[in-house]
Chains A and B, each alone.
Chain A
Amino acid sequence: MRLFALDYARPAEQLEVSAPYAYDSALQLNVLPDGRIAAHDHAVLRELGATTSTAGSKTHFDD
């Protein structure tokens, strides 16, 4: 029998959107192609949902 709670499950959103920034190990920060720090660009973060409470759900349950 299927678990009760799974009757309320929905397919997980695929969050594998390609981010317009990359990790810079020298800075220990993600940077945009123009060299700016990604975390300072709130528009980018909003667009990707990269800081939201479901952003890490796939591998972490502390959202």
Chain B
Amino acid sequence: MTVLILTCEQDVTADMVVARLNATGVPVLRLDPADLPGGVQLSGEYVHGGFRGQLSVGGRLVSTSGLRSVWVRRPGVPAARAASASASASSWLTEESSQALYGILRGTAARWMNHPDAAARARHKPWQLHLAQRTGLPVPATLITTLPQAARDFAERFPDLVVKSVSGTHPQDPPEAVPTSRVAPGTDFAAVASGPTLLQHRIAKRADIRLTAVGDRLLAARKAVAADADPDEVDVRFARAGAPWEPVGVPARTAAAVHAYLREARLAYGAFDFVEDADGIWWFLECNQSGQFGFVEIDTGQPISRAIAEWLAQEADV
């Protein structure tokens, strides 16, 4: 039984897991949907009341009935590298390729990390906040609005605010990054009317926490805020290197809430971001259903790639 990994070739984080699987003799088929059609081929037939399908890439051929799990890591857009005559044809080919690949895979008994339906829902940050609240994780006061007056009222109640992207994406034209940033007192909120804006009460943090959940396993790491850190540097992804990530235990209540979150979200993998306040409380910021883990493993030595490999190596549900 084979582990199917959907990711791009440059994904060296996926390599950490592929190497683990290789070491334990678990067959792997790695492909990038961007290479379908072309480098990746598929075929499936529904006859006599049954289904037979196969995938191939680079001379490897796997029957879809022989898949034990599918890891959706960093897949390219289906057909992205296919030659096509026009943009509309390209868009259509992408949809055709996406439906063919993911549609066939959805019909297999393979276990997913993560299932596309669960992943699509889990990407919605407002839904993440809702689910975190419902499962008992502390959530900073947050407002998502297009109403300038609502923003002003919120700023009166919570004067120390940050602004962040609602979607977690970054503008591409031109390419820009939108780090979580502090909002200065007296800021004019008129531009909130131009698009949904997420404002959040800033938690004065003494550390960032990255909790990586793999199945039932929780591996948490903590990065202390330096005493001389710039208080305006709130987004750890964009902060200067500072202290390394270090392993940290997960408080029992947090662990229970995270398990409930994963159950309800139907996620096999999640990278949770928290900030720890002066009282030691972990405040939920977000859960990235395909968040990076390599940097944490490299700093802490935590066996995240091994945990993922072990989860993927379990046999498919029957």
Seen from chain A, the residues whose Cβ lies within 8 Å of a Cβ on chain B are 1-13, 19, 21, 23, 25-26, 28-30, 37-40, 42, 45-46, 49-63
Contact A61 B191 (CB under 8 A): no
Known contacts A45-B298, A57-B170, A11 near B177 by CB under 8 Å: yes
B294 near A50 (CB under 8 angstroms)?
A: yes
Which single residue of chain B is at the shortest CB-CB distance from A55? B292
Rounded to whole Å, the gap between the CB of B184 and the closest CB of chain A is: 10
Which partner residue on chain B sits nearest A8 by CB separation? B181
Which interface residue of B167, B176, B194, B292 has the most chain A CB atoms within 10 A?
B292
Instruction: Please measure, in the bound complex, the distance between the C-alpha atom of A16 and the C-alpha atom of B309, giving whole angstroms.
Output: 29
Interface residues of B (CB under 8 A from A): 9-10, 12-13, 15-16, 18-19, 22, 28-30, 57-58, 74, 76, 123, 163-165, 167-172, 174-179, 181, 189-195, 197-198, 236-238, 271, 288-295, 297-298
**A29-B18, A39-B19, A63-B291 known; A13-B191 Cβ under 8 A:** no
**B191 lies within 8 A of A3 (CB):** yes
* Consensus secondary structure, chain A interface: loop
**Which secondary structure dominates where chain B touches chain A?**
mixed
Listed A/B pairs (26) with beta-carbon separation below 8 Å = A3-B195, A9-B176, A10-B177, A12-B175, A12-B176, A12-B177, A23-B9, A26-B58, A28-B30, A30-B9, A38-B15, A45-B294, A45-B298, A50-B12, A52-B295, A54-B177, A54-B238, A61-B123, A61-B167, A61-B170, A62-B168, A62-B271, A62-B288, A62-B291, A63-B288, A63-B291
Whether B176 contacts A6 by the Cβ 8 Å rule is yes
Assembled-state Cα–Cα distance A49/B179 (Å): 17
Chain B residues whose CB sits within 8 angstroms of the CB of A59 once the complex forms: 74, 76
Q: Which residues of A contact B195 (CB under 8 A)?
A: 3-5
How far, in Å, is B197 (CB) from chain A's closest CB?
Answer: 5
Contact B194 A1 (CB under 8 A): yes
Instruction: Pick the most buried of A4, A26, A28, A46: most chain B CB atoms within 10 A of its CB.
Output: A4
Point out the residues of chain B lying under 8 angstroms from A2, CB to CB.
191, 194
Q: State how many angstroms separate the Cβ of A57 from the closest Cβ of chain B.
A: 6
Provided the pairs A29-B19, A42-B298, A53-B237 are in contact, do residues A7 and B191 lie with their beta carbons within 8 angstroms? yes
In the complex, which residues of chain A have a beta carbon less than 8 angstroms from the beta carbon of B74?
56, 59-60
Contacting pair A30 B12 (CB below 8 A): yes
Partner pick for A62 among B176, B189, B290, B297, CB 8 A cutoff? B290
Which residues of chain B have C-beta atoms less than 8 A from A9's C-beta? 171, 176-178
Residue of B with least CB distance to A23:
B9
Q: Are B19 and A5 in contact (CB under 8 A)?
A: no
B178/A29 in contact, CB under 8 A? no
Most B CB atoms within 10 A — which of A5, A38, A56, A61?
A5
Q: Are A4 and B288 in contact (CB under 8 A)?
A: no
Most buried by B among A19, A28, A52: A28
Contacts A10-B179, A63-B292 given: A39-B16 contact, CB under 8 Å?
yes
From A14, which residue of chain B is reached at the shortest CB distance? B175
Instruction: Take A40-B19, A61-B169, A63-B237 as given contacts and tell me if A11 and B176 are in contact as well, using a CB distance cutoff of 8 Å.
Output: yes
Contact status A3-B298, CB under 8 Å: no
- Taking a contact as CB atoms under 8 Å apart, the answer to whether A62 and B289 are in contact is yes
Q: A5-B164, A5-B178 are in contact. Are A52 and B9 (CB under 8 A)?
A: no
With contact pairs A1-B191, A62-B123 given, residues A37 and B176 touching in the complex (Cβ less than 8 Å): no
Q: Is the CB–CB distance between B28 and A28 below 8 Å?
A: yes
Q: How many Å lie between the Cα of A38 and that of B57 in the bound state?
A: 22
B171 touches A6 (CB 8 A): yes
